[in-house]
Amino acid sequence: MVDIRIPIGLMFSIVGVLITGFGFFTMSNTEMYHKSLGINVNIIMGLLMLVFGLIFLFFAFRKKKKA
């Protein structure tokens, strides 16, 4: 049927890039990150999601090639 790893990988990669970009864009906004104890959680979570998404895509396409 459909390999669910592809949509999961795609969605996490897209949102990951988006949030990372937003994190860089708002990096100088210390007031905004006051809530999150001064940590730019957007960059951290964004990169984490991107890596997570890419891992899913990697495994999905590796299997496809084999088959």
Burial of 60 per CB tally in 10 Å (0-12, 13-18, 19+): middle
Number of H helices, E strands in the chain: 2, 0
Window 5-64: residues binding another protein (CB under 8 A): 7-8, 10-12, 14-15, 18-19, 22-23, 26, 32-33, 35-37, 39, 41-42, 44-46, 48-49, 52
- The token pair at 24 is 């860089």
Binding footprint of another protein on the chain (CB under 8 A): 1-2, 4, 7-8, 10-12, 14-15, 18-19, 22-23, 26, 32-33, 35-37, 39, 41-42, 44-46, 48-49, 52
